[in-house]
Amino acid sequence: MLQINYIRENKAAVIEGLTKKYFADAEQIVNEIIETDQIRRDTQHNLDLMLADANSKAKAIGDLMKAGKKEEAEKEKAAATELRSKTKELQDLHTIKEEELNALLVKLPNLPHHSVPAGRTAEENINIYSHGEVPTLHADAQPHWELIKKYDIIDFELGNKITGAGFPVYKGKGARLQRALINFFLDEAGKSGYTEVQPPIMVNEASAYATGQLPDKDGQMYYANEDKFYLIPTAEVPITNIYRDMIIREEDLPIKNTGYTPCFRREAGSWGADVRGLNRLHQFDKVELVQIATPETSYAILEEMKKHVQGLLEKLELPYRILHLCAGDMSFTSALTFDFEVYSAAQKRWLEVSSVSNFEAYQANRLKLRYKVDGKTQLLHTLNGSALALPRIVASILENNQTPEGIRIPKALQAYTGFDLIK
RNA sequence: AGAGAGGUGUCCGAGUGGUUGAAGGAGCACGCCUGGAAAGCGUGUGUACGGGUAACCGUACCGAGGGUUCGAAUCCCUUCCUCUCUACCA
């Protein structure tokens, strides 16, 4: 959530940023916010004065009672009652205005960082880096949804039976490959100084709200009605929420956490040819990086996280490219996002396997995540990135590394899989 | 799930409805003391919002939300959570 003080003082920049993100009616909503805020502040000022008055009256009555002047106290009570009832009206108005203001603020997405390219759709993202050769496959090469059947390593039919579409069963070397990737990613994160955590994979409403999934993505998360818990769409939610309502000591920054969790996404409204096989699932595995940093360091840290993800993809010997997302294609809460895409040779498609973002103070404002500088409390910056999401990595390993003898496992993974070929 | 106990500041822990934003500790910061340190002594040490250039002032906050009252951490209702015992169970 954007800070009201910032909006008040930087109205033009806010409208400009929102417009860059193709947010509809930016100017109108910002104006409405500023007006509502003004009424809220005026109301509070008047209310505070009145309450101060009422408090001193109450105190005076107390003193009279103590002094034994009962009758005088009784006389004062009538005036005090009157005053109190007047404060109620202002109190109600203040509450209403505060709620209105909050409802408006929650609607606003984060502002794009100044370096974010203009553009509305994925076509306008900018490819800032490419690495690795796109492999040329032999004539009868197959897409991964055929390969998994051929080698009997991932079973969608079985998942259908047990749960439904998008919940595959990993079997044998397929299951082993999953576990190898998870361990590999966690170990690599550990080497880069991240502390491993295992968070809950269901979160309460306050957590889903704090990282911005609610109210924006309500309906995209699975919901356990009876207990009002959401199944996490990413480990970002529980891990970042570890630090909700906290004031961090500056010397403890930056905070670096990593965690493996399954992720659950309803993916309502997305279907079609490009969601075949492992390309889009309702449940998938992911290792996530989360960092909490000062505003001065957050962009350097974003670079560091980008480097980390590059390192992973290079060790896995996968051709990849990095996209600097254009303003219109960024998520609601992000100020700057790099997407990593891996080439999946048989599908002849680039698949998104990681998204690394700086949220600046947007999440921190909802999280109430702060630190102290020179005695003043200030919001921190939050960042996160996938390192990595498994299914599409698996898809591209299967497709890119297929040989007549079987599927070759990247060297870096062999110590984790315990085999070098799926045949 | 049933019975009981409880939720107060960074932590521990008081709190009879009226200078309680909150005793007392501990911790932390600064100062004095010391050759240096410890101990000791002194001072300070919550958050949010509002007003003010600022010093500072005001208001709210004792799990959350309502209510009673001139006045609520304290009384009443609702709700969430934690702990103990019992039951059940990976």
Q: Which residues is A339 bridged to in the sheet?
A: A323, A355
Q: Which residues of A171-200 are buried (b: 16+ CB within 10 A; e: fewer)?
A: eebbebbbebbbbbbbebbeebebeebebe
Residues A34 and A129 in one domain: no
Average per-residue pLDDT for chain A: 92
Q: Is the pLDDT of residue A102 over 70?
A: yes
Residue A372: the pLDDT is 82
CA-to-C1' distance for A224 and B89, Å? Answer: 21
Here the ipTM equals 0.85
Q: Phi/psi at A356 (nearest 5 deg)?
A: -115, 125
> Among the listed ranges A113-127, A181-195, A225-239, which one has the minimum average pLDDT value?
A225-239
Q: Which residues of A259-276 are buried (b: 16+ CB within 10 A; e: fewer)?
A: bbbebbbbeeeeeeeeee
Residues A223 and A371 in one domain: yes
Q: Does residue A8 belong to any structural domain of this protein?
A: yes
Residue A39: the pLDDT is 94
Over the Cα atoms of chain A, what is R_g? 27
Q: Does residue A139 belong to any structural domain of this protein?
A: yes
Last residue of a domain, one of A107, A138, A158: A107
Tens digit of each residue's pLDDT (9 = 90 or more) over A236-255: 999 999 988 888 888 888 99
Residue A256: the pLDDT is 95
Residue A267: the pLDDT is 82
Asked if the Cβ of residue A86 lies within 7 A of any atom of strand B, the reply is: no
Residues A414 and A367 in one domain: yes
Say how far apart CA A185 and CA A205 lie, in whole Å. Answer: 29
Q: Does residue A149 belong to any structural domain of this protein?
A: yes
CA-to-C1' distance for A159 and B69, Å? Answer: 63
Residues A102 and A37 in one domain: yes
Question: Which CATH number does the domain housing residue A98 bear?
Answer: 1.10.287.40
Residues A200 and A67 in one domain: no
Residues A302 and A238 in one domain: yes
Query: Which window residues (357-416, chain A) lie with Cβ within 7 Å of strand B?
Result: 370, 372, 377
Last residue of a domain, one of A107, A134, A158: A107
Residues A77 and A200 in one domain: no
Q: Is the pLDDT of residue A44 over 80?
A: yes
Check whether the bond before A367 is cis (ω within 30° of 0): no
Torsional class of A360: left (φ above 0), alpha (ψ -120 to 50), beta (otherwise): left
Residues A261 and A130 in one domain: yes
- Residue nearest B58 (alpha carbon to C1'): A48
Sole residue written with tokens 């491993």:
A196
Tens digit of each residue's pLDDT (9 = 90 or more) over A53-76: 999 888 888 888 777 777 777 778
Q: Does residue A113 belong to any structural domain of this protein?
A: no
Tens digit of each residue's pLDDT (9 = 90 or more) over A312-353: 999 999 999 999 999 999 999 999 999 999 999 999 999 999
Residues A293 and A347 in one domain: yes
Q: Does residue A117 belong to any structural domain of this protein?
A: no
Residue A73: the pLDDT is 78
Question: Which CATH number does the domain housing residue A170 bear?
Answer: 3.30.930.10
CA-to-C1' distance for A374 and B29, Å? Answer: 13
Residue A360: the pLDDT is 95
Say how far apart CA A110 and CA A267 lie, in whole Å. Answer: 23
A155-159: average pLDDT: 94
Question: What is the side-by-side order of every strand in the sheet holding A349-358?
Answer: A126-131, A320-324, A336-344, A349-358, A381-389, A283-293, A255-264, A195-196
CA-to-C1' distance for A306 and B15, Å? Answer: 54
In strand B, which positions have an atom below 7 A from any protein CB? 18, 47-51, 58-60, 66, 69-71
- Residue nearest B60 (alpha carbon to C1'): A48
Q: Does residue A114 belong to any structural domain of this protein?
A: no
Say how far apart CA A326 and CA A343 lie, in whole Å. Answer: 21
Helix A173-191 with A390-400: angle, nearest 10 deg: 120
Q: Tokens at residue A205, please?
A: 């409403």
Asked if the Cβ of residue A62 lies within 7 A of any atom of strand B, the reply is: yes
Residues A20 and A72 in one domain: yes
Residues A233 and A91 in one domain: no
Last residue of a domain, one of A74, A107, A140: A107
Asked if the Cβ of residue A49 lies within 7 A of any atom of strand B, the reply is: yes
Q: Side chain identity at A313, as an amino acid letter?
A: L
Q: Does residue A115 belong to any structural domain of this protein?
A: no
Looking at the structure of chain A, the number of domains it has is 2
Residues A78 and A40 in one domain: yes
What's the domain range around A89? 4-107
With CA of A87 and C1' of each nucleotide, the nearest comes out as B59
By CB neighbour count within 10 A (0-12 exposed, 13-18 middle, 19+ buried), where does A91 fall? middle
Q: Does residue A116 belong to any structural domain of this protein?
A: no
